[in-house]
């Protein structure tokens, strides 16, 4: 290599290293400010015992929905109602919901959807329908939107609702704890958690001026009912594939108070099985996160390659070895920080470059597949790309 090429490589390696080092330093101080609800000081009862309705949409979730609903029925908070929505399931999901509703008529309501209106996604339609029911029938002070594969600790809702009241939150999020069943799941989920620190500075979520630091999590989106109505409900997000992220962004854009907390084990989810399961699960999401824009896809893949894969190559060149070591030291440190909340072993840091390559592949695969088919098939329904792009342009 010529001297000029070595110089460019050195400057690039140091630039990447310093960015990772800065992220590690800011995360080390910032993450301390994110409440951990399992700490004794947060063991409170919600002041005024506000009413809350939990909304659980499900399509073909017969293997998981019973455990989810039972964990909600076991909550150590009395002023709670649960609405389970069977969204056109073709398995026994509806029958399971119906049986539990008969056993717990005072707490669990069962709604059944047989048809999907035009220009609606199934999930957003189910949540909007249930929310309208909760508001008109239960007169709920708060609405909690979750998924049918989530498991709740008995104190999860009580602790979150207490803090929502104390902090006067319009939108309160608990980061879920991933259930890891294989090394492949651990490497990809831990990688996504590290990269999430670049997407959202969780310690800035409560800052109304930090508009880019908005969060929404499908596992636990708790909203004050008036805030939900002010946002236009899910009627305003009817064609959003990543409706949880869009909801979080919309909360910040409307100047509402958003809060976030950790709580290892309070809200648990086994997302998908194995590497292939996670990659397939990301199929509908990644192109949507890139706003269905191939230019953003290309930029994302190039950024992943430069910041996550290239440092491995820098280790092989003497002139760039020192910044590469600093890069990986910073990354390992971030894995250790993240593991305190996620309970995912930081040992997966050694697979960081491989995880990055797989996610870049997933982004490209999501894009190519969506463009090839002209849309996305989700929950058994095909949604044209033109309609999805139109709604994304409107709400981002």
Q: How many residues does the chain have?
A: 396
Q: Which two tokens stand for residue 332?
A: 């390992």
Strand-pair category, 52-58 with 142-145: parallel
Say how many C-beta atoms besides its own lie within 10 A of residue 115's C-beta.
6
Taking CA atoms, 345 is separated from 178, 180, 185, 339, in Å, by 11, 10, 11, 6
Report residue 177's pLDDT band, with 50, 70 and 90 as the boundaries: very high
For the segment 374-393, what is each residue's pLDDT rounded down to a tens digit?
A: 999 887 789 999 889 876 43
Q: Which of 73, 67, 267 is nearest to 172 (CA)?
A: 267
Whether 341 shows a pLDDT value over 90: the answer reads no
Give the pLDDT score at 396: 42
Q: Which of 289, 243, 284, 61 is nearest to 145 (CA)?
A: 243
Identify the structural domains of the chain with CATH numbers, from first to last.
3-32+282-380 (no CATH), 34-176+217-270 (3.90.550.10)
Q: Are 138 and 224 in contact (CB under 8 A)?
A: no
Whether 207 shows a pLDDT value over 50: the answer reads yes
pTM over 0.75: yes
Q: Which of 32, 24, 14 is nearest to 329 (CA)?
A: 24
Mean pLDDT of the region 235-257: 96
Q: pLDDT > 70: what percent of the chain?
A: 98
- The DSSP call for residue 76 is S
| CA 203/CA 345 separation, integer angstroms | 22
Q: Which strands, in side-by-side order, build the sheet including 177-178? A: 150-152, 267-269, 177-178
Q: Are 365 and 283 in contact (CB under 8 A)?
A: yes
For the segment 227-237, what is each residue's pLDDT rounded down to a tens digit?
A: 999 999 999 99
Whether 394 shows a pLDDT value over 60: the answer reads no
- Both ends of the chain: CA-CA distance in Å? 45
Give the pLDDT score at 1: 56
Q: Which of 9, 10, 12 is nearest to 307 (CA)?
A: 12
Whether 91 shows a pLDDT value over 70: the answer reads yes
CA angle 61, 66, 69 (to 5 degrees): 105
Give the pLDDT score at 391: 62
Mean pLDDT of the region 157-176: 98
Whether 114 shows a pLDDT value over 60: the answer reads yes
Please write down the long-range contacts of 189-193, taking CB distance under 8 Å and 24 or more positions apart.
189/271, 189/278, 189/342, 189/344, 190/335, 190/338, 190/339, 190/342, 190/344, 190/345, 190/346, 190/348, 190/349, 190/355, 191/348, 191/351, 191/352, 191/355, 191/356, 191/359, 192/359, 193/338, 193/342, 193/344
By mean pLDDT, which of 16-25, 278-287, 352-361 is the weakest?
278-287
């Amino acid at each position: 290599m010529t001297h000029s090429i070595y110089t460019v490589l050195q400057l690039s390696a140091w630039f990447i290293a310093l960015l990772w080092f800065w992220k590690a330093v800011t995360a080390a101080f910032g993450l301390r400010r994110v409440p951990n609800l399992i700490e004794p000081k947060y063991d409170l009862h919600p002041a005024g015992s506000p009413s809350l309705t939990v909304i659980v949409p499900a399509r073909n979730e017969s293997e998981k929905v019973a455990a989810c609903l039972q964990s909600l029925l076991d909550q150590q908070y009395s002023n709670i109602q649960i609405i389970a929505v069977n969204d056109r399931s073709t398995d026994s999901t509806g029958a399971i919901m119906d049986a539990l509703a008969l056993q717990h008529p005072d707490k669990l309501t069962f709604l059944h959807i047989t048809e999907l209106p035009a220009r609606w996604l199934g999930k957003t339609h189910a949540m909007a329908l249930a929310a309208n029911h909760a508001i008109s029938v239960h007169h709920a002070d708060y609405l909690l939107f979750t998924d049918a594969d989530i498991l709740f600790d008995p104190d999860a809702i009580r602790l979150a609702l207490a803090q929502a009241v104390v902090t006067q939150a319009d939108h309160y999020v608990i980061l879920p704890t991933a259930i890891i069943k294989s090394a492949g799941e651990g490497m990809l989920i831990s990688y996504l958690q590290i990269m999430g620190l670049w997407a959202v500075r969780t310690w800035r979520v409560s800052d109304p001026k930090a508009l880019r630091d908005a969060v929404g999590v499908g596992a636990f989106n708790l909203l004050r009912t008036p805030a939900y109505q002010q946002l236009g409900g899910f009627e305003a997000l009817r064609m959003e594939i990543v409706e949880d992220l869009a909801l979080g962004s919309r909360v910040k854009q409307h100047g509402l108070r958003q809060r976030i907390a950790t709580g290892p084990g309070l809200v648990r989810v086994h997302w998908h099985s194995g590497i292939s399961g996670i990659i397939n699960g990301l199929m509908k999401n990644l192109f949507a996160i890139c706003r269905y824009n191939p230019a953003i896809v290309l930029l994302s893949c190039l950024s992943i390659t430069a910041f996550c894969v290239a440092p491995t190559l820098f280790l092989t060149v003497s002139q760039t070895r020192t910044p590469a070591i600093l890069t990986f030291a910073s990354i390992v440190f971030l894995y250790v920080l993240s593991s305190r909340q996620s309970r995912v072993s930081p040992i997966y840091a050694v697979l960081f470059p491989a995880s990055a390559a797989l996610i870049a592949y997933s982004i490209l695969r999501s894009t190519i597949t969506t463009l090839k088919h002209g849309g996305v098939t989700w929950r058994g329904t095909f949604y044209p790309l033109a309609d999805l792009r139109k709604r994304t342009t409107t709400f981002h």
